[in-house]
Amino acid sequence: MKKLETWMDRITNESSPWLSAIKMEDEGDYLKAFIFYLKSSSECIKQNSFVMAALSCSCAADCLAMDGNLIGARQLYLQTATLYEKNAVHVIGNSVREALWSYEEAYEYFNLAGENNKAQQIYEKYVSLSRKINPFFGEEEAMESLRIRKTDIPLHSGVHTTNMQISADVDNALSQFLDDTSVISDGKSNPNLLQRISHKIPEDKI
């Protein structure tokens, strides 16, 4: 009888893009790590493994940030937040605790992406769900629970100092990733992400 493959089996498999990404990142090759992380995220989305997909997406964003592409990083943090929000909806019928944790993560990443209005919407969902469990749960408790990620990356900056070459491999990886993430946003993809990464759209248009 064939053993069922778990998510742990997948990420520890030697052919796993996740392990390849970690190896490339450890070697300081952020371009290759970025591509492998996006591939890992895409595969996880297809398997409805939204938490692992979000983790891979955030790591891809970190690779862009490490290479100076702050605008691109912010857009991938936005995708990360959307994945965590999707997971909250996906698991709420089975685990309220995981749903609340997913909303916490989504809240952090929406703030990190500069999406304050969306972060506020997540905050309201979090409080509403928490009050169904504990009627005495209030805003003070919510603010204590919803920690905002501290970062040294000035994501509001439009300065681009990357030495990453926007190659055909990067373009293809991003295009494929956008196709995969289109299923998590009410059927609507973000067609401007690739252009933003390549700095074809000024920051004031984002």
Please give the single-letter amino acid code of residue 91: V
Dist. CA 185–CA 29, nearest whole Å: 31
53, 58, 61, 63 alpha-carbon torsion, rounded to 10°: -100
Q: Which of 18, 20, 68, 24 minimizes the C-alpha distance to 42? A: 18
Average pLDDT, the chain: 75
pLDDT tens track for 24-50: 999 989 888 999 999 999 899 989 899
What predicted TM-score, i.e. pTM, was given to this entire model?
A: 0.73
pLDDT at 176: 73
Where along the chain do its domains lie?
26-148+158-205
Are 20 and 36 a contacting pair, CB within 8 Å?
A: yes
Dist. CA 99–CA 30, nearest whole Å: 32
pLDDT tens track for 159-199: 444 444 455 666 667 667 767 677 555 444 444 444 444 44
Q: Which of 44, 196, 77, 59 minimizes the C-alpha distance to 148? A: 77
